[in-house]
Structure 1
Amino acid sequence: MVEWLGYKPYAVTHASDYFDQLYDWAVELIK
């Protein structure tokens, strides 16, 4: 899901909890 950010979560449930925040960070990094 977020492996392209160089981060592999141990559990998808944990990743989904922070997915919105990770996405926001990704958008900022792309800018």
Structure 2
Amino acid sequence: MPDTNPEGPSPEERLLRWQILLILLEWFLSQ
């Protein structure tokens, strides 16, 4: 798998991943 983005995910991508993780965590805890 070629590394087309050596600097890693963009700040927007990291923010989106954190938002998804937080939503999943809140959903899991509310069950």
Greater fraction of residues in helix: 1
Relative contact order, higher structure (CA 8 A, sep 6+): 1
Q: TM-score, normalised by structure 2?
A: 0.47
The structure having more radius of gyration, on CA atoms, is: 2
